[in-house]
Structure 1
């Protein structure tokens, strides 16, 4: 599960259809916590932004723990938030959801990853977990996926290093402190995509950027990315349970639809993705 929010003092609406989640942007008023974070970021600069994001995320984590009807001892969620303040972006990432910027270069459309996937295979993350007596071990059947376990029990096997919830591991290196970064937008920047790892597990940054660049609206772009991710899951992992796919798309300006030779992918990839998702 994951939370993705892209806001410039705006509200996010989510449509949930089973494992498929489409989130899109509308010009209305957002929640108080997100508004407050955006206000503090613009007033206090980068140092204040880091501190305020950390405080707000931890407050949200504590509020989740107090929910009587929700047991999050062994379950939780990632979160990636992007706040647009004029021409500046503030990005606060928790876990392995991801934010990607679509921008125009002299060679065409390029996908720029704005966040780091915070997983236990990162040396800094693994070091923190091990210092708190957590274990970082991959299963034999999944040697490429490092997971976090309790010191003396083979549970719960969390595949991320930061999260809301998952309180059973909060004393063993799993934290709710986001990684905060900043970026100044340029006239070449076209759109933002925020999505959970269920999307990035099966689609590359450039594939997602390609799909979004062909869409006529933010909602259509999010739907197209979801559809492409589902198709990719069914093709690559036909016997596996599909991971959560949640997407936010935000157009920064009127989209420049590009020809295939201006995209950072092969023509075959362009044709396959475009036709599979009825985009051309």
Structure 2
């Protein structure tokens, strides 16, 4: 019950954020956007919602009491088969440029732009009709006595 209730709340919240962003004319979000990661801790339960390549990493203690990082999220990039399949089904294209063969990107159907390296994001409305979504992937973890802290991380935040 805990996971499904929180999952529904996260999905609804992420959808509302994307809708509000689309209505804010002071932010140029047509060909730009952001990823996100958020977490709720309830007792010894963690519920994590991830969008794009923001990450949640848990520090736990190993058998020799050393710190061990555990990535709690998956980077939601276009090279993941299920993400690429959704994008292609919506007529978006997924491929890597010759200069960066390891970086798969999302492209418009008939133009080699914008080349977004994410499969999910807030904003980037030029790609929303072509498979880019703002629905987070929601995961769960029960904490143990060895777990110490979680780092929520993102990059590319620019404040004017």
In the superposition, the TM-score normalised over structure 2's length comes to 0.94
Structure 1 residue corresponding to 2:79, chosen from 95, 116, 121: 121
Q: Secondary structure at the match of 1:171?
A: helix
Give the Cα separation in 1 of the matches to 2:56 and 2:125: 25
**Paired position in structure 1 for 2:128:** 170
Deviation at 1:48, TM superposition (A): 2.1
Structure 2 residue corresponding to 1:158, chosen from 99, 107, 116: 116
The structure 1 segments of at least 4 consecutive aligned residues displaced by more than 2 Å after TM superposition are none
Q: Secondary structure at the match of 1:169?
A: helix
**Paired position in structure 2 for 1:62:** 19
What are structure 2's unaligned runs of at least 5 residues? Answer: none
Give the Cα separation in 1 of the matches to 2:6 and 2:89: 27
Q: How does 1:71-220 map to 2 (within 5 A)?
A: 71-107=28-64, 108-196=66-154, 198=155
Give the Cα separation in 2 of the matches to 1:162 and 1:49: 19
Deviation at 1:46, TM superposition (A): 1.5
State how many pairs are aligned.
157
Which structure: larger Rg?
A: 1
- Structure 1 stretch displaced more, 78-87 or 156-165: 78-87
- Higher helix content, 1 or 2: 1
Give the conservation status (yes or no) of the 8 Å contact 1:98–1:195: yes
Give the Cα separation in 2 of the matches to 1:164 and 1:87: 29
What are structure 1's unaligned runs of at least 5 residues? Answer: 1-43, 199-243, 247-280
Give the Cα separation in 2 of the matches to 1:194 and 1:47: 22
Give the Cα separation in 2 of the matches to 1:144 and 1:68: 35
Query: RMSD of the TM alignment (CA)?
Result: 1.4
Give the Cα separation in 1 of the matches to 2:157 and 2:135: 23
Deviation at 1:61, TM superposition (A): 0.3
Give the Cα separation in 1 of the matches to 2:50 and 2:152: 10
Give the Cα separation in 1 of the matches to 2:13 and 2:100: 34
Give the Cα separation in 2 of the matches to 1:71 and 1:109: 41
Give the Cα separation in 2 of the matches to 1:149 and 1:130: 10
- Greater relative contact order (Cα < 8 A, sep 6+): 2
In the superposition, the TM-score normalised over structure 1's length comes to 0.54
